[in-house]
Amino acid sequence: MKKIMSGNEALAYGAYLAGIKVGAGYPGTPSTEVLENYSRYPGAYAEWSPNEKVAMDVGIGAALGGKRAMVTMKHVGLNVAADSLFTVSYTGTNGALIIINSDDPSMHSSQNEQDNRHYARASKVVMLEPADSEEAKRFVKVAVEISETFDTPVILRTTTRLSHSRCIVALEDEPADIVVEPAAYERNASKYVMVPMNARQRRLVVEERLKKLAEYAETTPINFIEPGGGDIGVIAAGVSYQYAKEVFPEATFLKLGMVYPLPKQLIRDLAGRVKQVVVVEELDPFIEEHVRLLGIPVKGREVFPGIAEFSQGRVRKHAAAAGLVPKVADPPAVQTPQLPVRPPMLCPGCAHRPVFYALQRLRVAVMGDIGCYTLGAAPPLGSMHSCICMGASIGNVHGVDRAKVKDRTAAVIGDSTFFHSGIAPLINLISNGGNSTVIVVDNRITAMTGHQPHPGTGWTLMGKEVPNVSIDALARAVGFKKVDVINPYDFKLVLDTIRDHTSSDEPSLIVSQYPCVLNIREKKPAPTVDLDACNECGTCLRIGCSPMTKVDGGVAIDPALCIGCGFCASVCPQSAIKVPS
The pairing of strands 2-6 and 166-170 is antiparallel
**Alpha-carbon distance 326 to 316, whole Å?**
9
**Alpha-carbon distance 113 to 307, whole Å?**
8
Which residue blocks in 362-490 are alpha helix, DSSP H?
392-402, 415-421, 423-431, 471-477
Distances (CA, A) of 73 to 49, 77, 157, 456: 11, 6, 10, 20
**Alpha-carbon distance 258 to 238, whole Å?**
10
Please report which helix (H) or strand (E) contains residue 128, including its range: strand 126-128
Q: Which of 227, 228, 216, 300 is nearest to 258 (CA)?
A: 216
537 is in an annotated binding site: yes
Neighbours of 49 (CB within 10 A): 25
Q: Which of 344, 348, 393, 346 is nearest to 368 (CA)?
A: 393
Do residues 475 and 483 make contact, with C-beta atoms less than 8 angstroms apart?
Answer: yes
Secondary structure of 84-121 in HEC code, one letter for each residue: HHHHHHHHCCCCEEEEEEEECCCCCCCCCCCCCHHHHH
**Local structure of 123: helix, strand or coil:** helix
565 is in an annotated binding site: yes
Q: Is the Cα dihedral 314, 319, 323, 329 positive or negative?
A: negative
568 is in an annotated binding site: yes
545 is in an annotated binding site: yes
Neighbours of 171 (CB within 10 A): 12
**Alpha-carbon distance 52 to 391, whole Å?**
12
534 is in an annotated binding site: yes
516 is in an annotated binding site: no
**Local structure of 46: helix, strand or coil:** strand
Do residues 21 and 62 make contact, with C-beta atoms less than 8 angstroms apart?
Answer: yes
Q: Which of 217, 319, 221, 222 is nearest to 276 (CA)?
A: 319
- Describe the crossing of helices 238-247 and 312-321 by its angle, rounded to 10 degrees: 60
**Local structure of 496: helix, strand or coil:** helix
Beta bridge partners of 96: 68
Beta bridge partners of 335: none
Query: What residues contact residue 187 under an 8 Å CB cut-off, 6+ apart?
Result: none
Phi, psi values for residue 538, rounded to 5°: 85, 5
540 is in an annotated binding site: yes
SS3 content of the chain, % helix, strand, coil (to 5): 40, 20, 45
**Alpha-carbon distance 126 to 157, whole Å?**
10
Which segments within 329-422 are labelled E, that is strand? Answer: 365-368, 386-387, 409-414
**Alpha-carbon distance 277 to 165, whole Å?**
29
Q: Edge-to-edge, what's the strand order for the sheet holding 232-237?
A: 223-226, 252-256, 232-237, 276-280, 298-299
| Binding site listing for [4Fe-4S] cluster | 534, 537, 540, 545, 562, 565, 568, 572
- Binding-site positions read 534, 537, 540, 545, 562, 565, 568, 572
